[in-house]
Amino acid sequence: MSTRQALDRLTANLEESMGVRGGGDARPVLAPVPAKRDAGRRPLRNVGRLTIDQVVPDPDQPRVEFSEDALERLALSIREKGQLSPIRVRWSDRLEKWLIISGERRWRAARRASLPDIECYFHEAELTPSEILEQQLIENLLREDLRPVEEARAFSSLMGINGWTGKEVADALRVHPSRVSRALALLRLPGPVQERVNAGEIPARAAYEISKLPDPAAQAALAERAAAEGLSHQDAARAVRQRRGKPKPPARMTRNAFTGPGAWKVVVTGPVKGGYPEIEQALLLALNEVRERIRTGRKPD
């Protein structure tokens, strides 16, 4: 029998090897059968543990104060229930340690709870100083427990690092621009007043009103009163208005603008309220003056 004849008679064998099965229903499992719970899962590759002394706080980080009480409570919780979420860290070539981007409080509490190591999310990509500050701020702003002046300083450093306006800081951090401008106003207060705001003796909103006073001595005096009497936001605003006196009513005057070709425009102003006859007079005088200057070949200012 030739090879061809043999192969022709073996067609069924060839096809069986290649996957053809008779019978239909029977379907043995030949390959892994995935579990439904695994659909859509992915491991995070940069999460792990670090011995706790490999981690240090970021010397440039905005948070500076921690309440002893809160730390003790967090330490207790970590000792009993473990660390519920990893802290974010990045490697510092300068310090040869992992710096905390966010989670300094959890780290302090874990140390207090004498844990040997801490769960971390390792931020591998290079971060600019602004990105680090942004991440720290976003984390803290979301929890709303950053002290008012700390928050203001952080906004101010972001503006310094990036040359941003207050509005740009607000956009980057997704907060309302008024929150940034109110915070920045606190930095205009004398140092001791800022400390009392941070300590919670003067509400941040009242302090914002106080910052509207132009004179630091007046700011300090009102701050003293605010702390002693517990002035509310409205009280402080009223006191500021009284100190500054009533604003002068706007002077009555004339101001009219006329659009010319392109972006040119002509503005006529006068010290008293006037009508179109006076405006016409002023324009005619000006026109004559311009023509005179053209005639004498004088250059415009």
State the DSSP code for 98: E
Kindly tell me which of 9 and 176 has the beta carbon lying closer to other proteins. 9
CB of 19 to other proteins, least distance (A): 4
CB of 11 to other proteins, least distance (A): 7
Kindly tell me which of 15 and 145 has the beta carbon lying closer to other proteins. 15
Residue type, position 192, single letter: P
CB of 115 to other proteins, least distance (A): 21
CB of 3 to other proteins, least distance (A): 5
Kindly tell me which of 4 and 94 has the beta carbon lying closer to other proteins. 4
Kindly tell me which of 90 and 105 has the beta carbon lying closer to other proteins. 90
Return d(Cα 121, Cα 280) in angstroms, integer: 73
Q: 255 — phi, psi (to 5°)?
A: -150, 110
CA dihedral 174, 179, 185, 187 (to 10 degrees): -60
CA contacts within 13 A on the Cβ side of 202: 30
Q: Which residues bind other proteins (CB under 8 A)?
A: 3-4, 7, 11, 13-15, 17-21, 29-36, 38-46, 48, 124
* Cα angle: 182, vertex 183, 188; to 5 degrees: 90
Kindly tell me which of 53 and 124 has the beta carbon lying closer to other proteins. 124
Site of tokens 């801490």:
118
Give CA separation, 48 vs 74, 247, 287, in Å.
21, 61, 79
CB of 47 to other proteins, least distance (A): 8
* Cα angle: 104, vertex 135, 191; to 5 degrees: 70
Kindly tell me which of 15 and 72 has the beta carbon lying closer to other proteins. 15
Q: Are 114 and 93 in contact (CB under 8 A)?
A: no
CB of 126 to other proteins, least distance (A): 13
